[in-house]
Structure 1
Amino acid sequence: MSKKEEPSTGEKLEGTLMFVGDTIAQAATRVHEFHRAISDMPFKAVGAATLNASKPVESVHNEITDLVYGAVREAGKGVFSGAAWVVRQANQSLASPQVIDQAMGGELMDDVNHLPVPSMPNAKTDKRVSAISSAINGVFGDHLAATRNPMQVHMNLYANGQLLQADQAALMAQFPNAQNHLVIFVHGLCCNEDSWQMYYNPSEPATRPYGDKLQDDFPVTALYLRYNTGRNIDSNARQFKRMLNKLVRNWPVAVEGITLVGHSMGGLVSRAVVEALTDDDIILKRAIRDVVCLGSPHAGAPLARLAAAGEQLFSKFELARPIGRVLGVRSRGIRDLDHGLGALQTRDGQEVMFHLIGSTIGDHTSSWLNTTVGDGLVTPDSALADDTGKAQRVTFAQKHHMILLNDPDVFLELKMVLRQHLRPRVGRD
């Protein structure tokens, strides 16, 4: 199983500088467009009244403003792109300090030996940086991937906070007690694998993450996917499928079952993996038993549709068009949530069982909340959209979207899913 190493601190700094430069350029462009939309109104009015006698003035005005905004845009992007280049050269140089040391006649290593040892970032800092990076990737991840920005999140599997190793020998060392049933958790938009630890209180064992508790109760190994949620769902699903095929081939023991548990967008990615399976994926087709979707917008999410509608509406008015373009700066991943993947459809030869779990912040009788607000981000109708009539569907009341990541009622549902294939460990029934 191939993997991408996580970027170093220096590479993250380089990527951040590149991203800031791109952001300044985009902001200058939007302000320029807004300025032009405003200035065009009086020029058009005067032009109509004076038979275009004001055209030379308008041309001079436009040339000057184009020059000014162009200078701001290019200077802003240039400064940060230049800084990113400096950081990149430093990263490459510092990766081999002996080269510089030779060039300086040994002076560098002399100085380095007398430098105080810097304090290393702790796990809490790393998690915070990772969370911020994942949030940025959710909104701009397609751009980061297209520009090969070091800030882009690479798809990888994790267990116990550690990146999964690539080859079978390393996996055997990493998982001496590997089980033949895998439960793989797939996070949602702007999140990462740490999102499954939300609402965990060390003093309350019942709030431990689903994966930890399932490993206690059943002979399973829990794994967690991290991916760039700004990329479109199909692209992530295809890459995830390839990763699963390699994982099954290299896993220390024969894989007999896989359960995919996806929250929000993660449920759509998991579903898309199953729908992308072909006869070439025969081992994976036999292994994947269940897909559990927690608050996944199969029929789309209201907020995503609102942003899309706003973009279309503002784009129809000349003065508001720049605002429409701002709303248009949404990743492909977010755009995929406008309408989701549609309701589940019957597919020949598909033996995977889908479990659709939705919720609402209101109670079951407050229908207006169910249909308009749902869990705050996804309505039950979308979360439970199924045209096959075969999916197991559950709706919970008085639960918001994020609580589905760590909730005792949801955990009971997950246990019921595994009971269909596995016997609980002795004493854990």
Structure 2
Amino acid sequence: MVAFFKGDVMGMPDETGRPTLLVRMTAKLKGEVRADTLESFRRAGGVAYAEMQRAEALRQKLADEGANLWHVEPGVSSQLLCAWNAFVLQSIGENLLDADYSADPRTVGYVPPVTHTQVTACFDEVEPWSSRARQAAGNSSLDLSATLRLPADLPEWAEADPCPLPHLRGMLAAARAVRQHAEVALGVFEASVQDAEKHGRDLQRLRQLAAEGSTAADYAEGLLEADPDPNLHEAIEERLQRALEAFYHLGQLTAMPSLIARYDTGGQVAATPAPRKLATPDSSGFDPWCLTSPRERATWRKDPRAHQSIKELWEFDPDPAATLRIQDEIDAAFAAKAIDYARNGSGSLLGSYFCCPWGAIYVVRRPVTINGRRLRQGQQFTYEVDADEVPKGGRFVRRLIVGTFAPTNDVEYCDPDGEHDF
């Protein structure tokens, strides 16, 4: 069995007035969908900013009083954390919308599917976090760490290849806004620590997390200074995702420092076990089928066209060691039982991805990091390796595809000449 990535695109009804025919036609040609419902949620989500203002005032009050956040009432920490989460989610959604509108005023009110999906995912979580912040403000004994998995992760990132440039600029704008508030919160937090020697390791972990986020954001901003080649979009997107995730966690940890020790030891995001090292093509122990799903290798080995595809894939790989390093991490995560082979709704194994080299479809059993990407429990993913664009001057693709997969009868062989066979 082979599987393919299945994504969803949502279209929303218009409630603010019918767009002009030109706007509708332009949006249709660009493949964009209506965003009017998102605009309704944007307006309603303004409560997140009010909660953030209350939280920042509370944070400053605690600092002025010399309060130790390790020992404040649980409702205080819960309020700070929940207000932060609502603010970050609202900021990401709004910046994504605004960046797309600014990029092409002809289609204001319409956005690409990837932007629509991502903004929807963010706005959907603003109200619950805002509500929790208000509940905590009214109940000083409310300890949300007892009922929620904290620190919480951002919603799953929507996939697009390549990611639209306005979407990347929106992510960058969100990262700037979130970073500024996160760094201020960290500064206030550090100034309020009364026993720096006792909590030294925790403070170091927070500074490390801040450095991780700021470095990724700065690097992405440098790549975005000029209109980057589409081949760079994925690299920029990955760094912006990493930056936003780091700042999102940083704000939660400064709000509820009791979470830091667990975060530091992998309680939230498990570290990838030390990987083994697969043999490279220039060594005698090299297995050209090492990227192919182990359960289906015997079947693919019987296919002469598959043999040719695998051969060409490695011939066009400019850095086989980099390709194998990611597979090493996947294999190590599988050996540690952090991931397993994915199954469909009826319990049958999904098998391999439909494109050469036909890698396995996995499901995450516990949080793990692979190729610098945090994967969450329940997510499905596969490892895509593609050489088809290399002869045309394009890039060699190595990436994790995260999403929902479904069975298909289609098969794609490696074809650098540009003629795909199915």
User: Rg larger in 1 or in 2?
Assistant: 1
**Both proteins in one fold, TM over 0.5:** no
Higher RCO (C-alpha 8 Å, min separation 6): 2
Please, what TM-score do these two structures have when normalized by structure 1?
A: 0.26
